[in-house]
């Protein structure tokens, strides 16, 4: 290339797909603040505050370790498997969409024997069936479920599963990528042992951080491992940087992403966690009511619909991708199905600053208008 390219000029989008969402303006502004070194004592004070904010967001005051992994939600998923599972261990996994399948894939890559408990896309995996699988595999070390299945818009009854597992030796792992900050989540009270999430959905920070929480029981499992885990996901080493003081060097931390996540969590606490959950619920219900009122169908079963992510079936004869393209040309992003097993659908995310009834109405109007035009084109 003989000349430098022009400065990038991304178009403005209303990001209402499965994530990322639009960044909270306060979090975006925080990234403009003065850069610090990762071993600067002032930086360590920010780390401590961020960990405290994460404890509040997870409701994990009793958790032994809470920190954000400097990576994506998938890395948080793999870090849990890497730290809690050893080759030959049995893992029970609830599978009702793309991300349940991904847990299975990662667990097998780490040498686990996986017992899959399936439900159709849009249906939740019954806790009774998960517990039955645990009864049939009494030495299983881990039960893993997706609290908020982003690929289907289905919410798992996690509180009930945690209560039912209180007297069991198996640990409970929960994918909270699309629930942290947007759906009721009680790490301590529900008896979760390992939870992971991301920064770019209901928390509304940029992608690149994966908040984790581990119980005391989970850390006992980590410390009893026979083989070490990769250094980048060694939770004890990460804790020595994020929590222990003086901090021990582990990696060069993504300082500006830390600023953004700190501010996003601070905004969450200023709003109030329950109020934020209620806002996401109101927006999701508005969208889902409107979808049904427009004669469209929802994928997720009625009693387990996820508020921050609504999955809408593409009507027969309508080109779902063409509808997405039309909306994108008008400045609105929505998602399609994820993976080859997915039925034809649109995935509409109302998360972070976009979790409002006004945004729900705007997206619904654009969607229904595009569907009508596509349907008319097919009929013509």
Residue pLDDT, tens place only, 1-34: 679 999 999 999 999 999 999 999 999 999 999 9
Please check whether residues 287 and 260 belong to one and the same domain: no
Looking at residue 174, which CATH number applies to its domain? 3.40.640.10
Q: Is the pLDDT of residue 378 over 80?
A: no
| Rounded Cα gap, residues 140 and 133, in angstroms | 9
269, 303, 323: which is the final residue of a domain? 269
Asked if the structure places residue 13 within a domain, the reply is no
Please check whether residues 100 and 232 belong to one and the same domain: yes
For 68-127, the pLDDT digits (tens) are 999 999 999 999 999 999 999 999 999 999 999 999 999 999 999 999 999 999 999 999
Asked if the structure places residue 168 within a domain, the reply is yes
The total of structural domains in the chain comes to: 2
Quote the domain boundaries for residue 247: 25-269
Please check whether residues 249 and 295 belong to one and the same domain: no
Report yes or no: 152 and 175 within 8 Å, Cβ to Cβ: no
269, 302, 327: which is the final residue of a domain? 269
Asked if the structure places residue 299 within a domain, the reply is yes
231 falls in which pLDDT band (50, 70, 90)?
Answer: very high
Up-side HSE of residue 376: CA atoms within 13 Å toward CB?
Answer: 6
Long-range pairs for 163-168: beta carbons < 8 A, 24 or more residues apart: 163/190, 163/191, 164/127, 164/131, 165/131, 165/134, 165/191, 166/191, 168/134
Please check whether residues 103 and 217 belong to one and the same domain: yes
Please check whether residues 337 and 204 belong to one and the same domain: no
For 341-351, the pLDDT digits (tens) are 999 999 999 99
Question: Quick count: other Cβ atoms within 10 Å of Cβ 110?
Answer: 17
Asked if the structure places residue 16 within a domain, the reply is no
Rounded to 5 degrees, what are φ and ψ at 214?
-130, 135
Please check whether residues 202 and 59 belong to one and the same domain: yes
238, 253, 269: which is the final residue of a domain? 269
């Amino acid at each position: 290339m003989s000349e430098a390219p022009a400065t990038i000029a991304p178009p403005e989008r209303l990001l209402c797909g499965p994530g990322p969402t639009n960044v909270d303006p306060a979090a975006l502004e925080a990234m403009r603040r003065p850069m610090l070194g990762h071993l600067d004592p002032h930086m360590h004070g920010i780390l401590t505050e961020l960990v405290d904010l994460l404890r509040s967001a997870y409701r994990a005051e009793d958790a032994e370790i809470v920190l954000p992994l400097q990576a994506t939600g998938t890395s948080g998923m793999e870090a849990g498997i890497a730290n809690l599972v050893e080759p030959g261990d049995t893992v029970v996994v609830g599978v009702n969409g793309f991300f349940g399948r991904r847990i299975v894939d990662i667990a097998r890559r780490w040498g686990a024997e996986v017992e899959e408990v399936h439900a159709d896309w849009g249906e939740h995996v019954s806790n009774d069936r998960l517990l039955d699988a645990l009864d049939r595999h009494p030495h299983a070390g881990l039960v893993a479920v997706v609290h908020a299945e982003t690929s289907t818009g289905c919410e798992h009854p996690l509180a009930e599963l945690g209560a039912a597992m209180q007297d069991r030796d198996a640990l409970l792992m929960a994918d909270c990528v699309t629930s942290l900050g947007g759906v009721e989540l009680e790490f301590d009270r529900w008896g979760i042992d390992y939870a992971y999430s991301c920064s770019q959905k209901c928390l509304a920070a940029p992608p690149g951080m994966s908040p984790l929480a581990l119980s005391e029981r989970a850390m006992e499992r980590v410390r009893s491992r026979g083989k070490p885990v990769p250094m980048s996901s060694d939770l004890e080493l990460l804790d020595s940087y994020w929590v222990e003081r003086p901090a021990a060097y582990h990696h060069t931390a993504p300082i500006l992403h830390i600023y953004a996540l700190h501010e996003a969590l601070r905004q969450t606490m200023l709003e109030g966690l329950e109020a934020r959950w209620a806002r996401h619920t109101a927006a999701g219900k508005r969208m889902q009511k409107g979808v049904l009122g427009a004669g469209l169908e929802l994928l997720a079963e009625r009693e387990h619909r996820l508020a921050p992510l609504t999955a809408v079936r593409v009507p027969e004869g309508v080109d779902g991708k063409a509808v997405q393209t039309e909306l994108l040309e008008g400045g609105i992003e929505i998602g399609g199905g994820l993976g080859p097993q997915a039925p034809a659908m649109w995935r509409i995310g109302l998360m972070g600053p976009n979790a409002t009834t006004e945004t729900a109405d705007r997206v619904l109007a654009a969607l229904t208008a595009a569907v009508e035009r596509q349907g008319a084109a097919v009929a013509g």
